[in-house]
Copies of this chain bind each other. A is one copy, B any other.
């Protein structure tokens, strides 16, 4: 098994299911469903759904236990990208090499497309009631909302916006990253675990894995912004630096950042040692982060 197969398998599973779950562009009013699909199917790696599905497998769960939740997580991630790209926020014209949502559909429709993806995420989760333990499902809804809210992802974006053009400190950098991207990444693997029937101890190990993975993800993303080539990332290289954003390379230098990323990946892999072979996909995922040309 290699990581590209894992990504390919889960990507297909997630995208097929998202197409089943979301209103087609034929459904009135078509333009909003079109705008949602434009960003939802813009070629993402489905990192959060993959984490969710692999987390579920690690505790002995089946894909169908958490697949709709995996789709919901991707909807929330996509909404956050659409809104982050808006004028008044990061004001970006391109994302993954394609025009951003508001450049195609206009600002008003892009705001609504983001709102709609966030809203439908909770609808999908609540609809899982037919197959799932209701207590678990309510816990999942609560965790995803908390991870996406002002003490999670939104909080990270708020501080990121507010701290532009100020001197980046380690404390600020850590706050932004653990909240802006880390919270939903950790929630993704936890949600897979919860819906797969994890024990409290197992969930604790998945949480450590998620936190360390989120850290590694952000450090390597920052490194890629410095050294990566534009085609690979789909955004202008050095754009973080241009905006005076706090990044790991800016604070610690490239070499130290690479060491920190490697340490975080090792910690993540150690945390899931207890699951043995069932966690092979989680392990490959962690290893992948430091293999992507950083």
Contact = CB atoms under 8 A, between A and B. Distances in A.
B111 A32 contact: no
Interface residues of A, number: 54
A241 interface: no
A83 B119 CA distance: 14
A16 interface: no
A86 B106 CA distance: 13
Given A116-B149, A141-B126, A142-B127, A83 B111 contact: yes
Given A129-B135, A141-B141, A145-B120, A115 B83 contact: yes
Interface string A76-108: 000100010011110000000000001000111
Contacts of A146: 123
A111 B87 CA distance: 10
A148 interface: yes
Contacts of A279: none
A162 B112 CA distance: 12
A228 interface: no
Contact of A122 (B27, B87, B112, B141): B141
A49 B129 CA distance: 26
Number of copies of this kind of chain in the complex: 2
A149 B108 contact: no
A126 B144 CA distance: 10
Interface of A: 23, 27-29, 31-33, 36, 79, 83, 86-89, 102, 106-112, 114-116, 118-120, 122-123, 125-127, 129, 134-135, 137-139, 141-142, 145-146, 148-151, 154-155, 157-159, 161-162
Given A27-B150, A83-B111, A138-B138, 12 more contacts: A29-B158, A32-B154, A87-B88, A109-B161, A114-B115, A119-B145, A119-B150, A122-B141, A126-B139, A129-B135, A129-B142, A141-B141
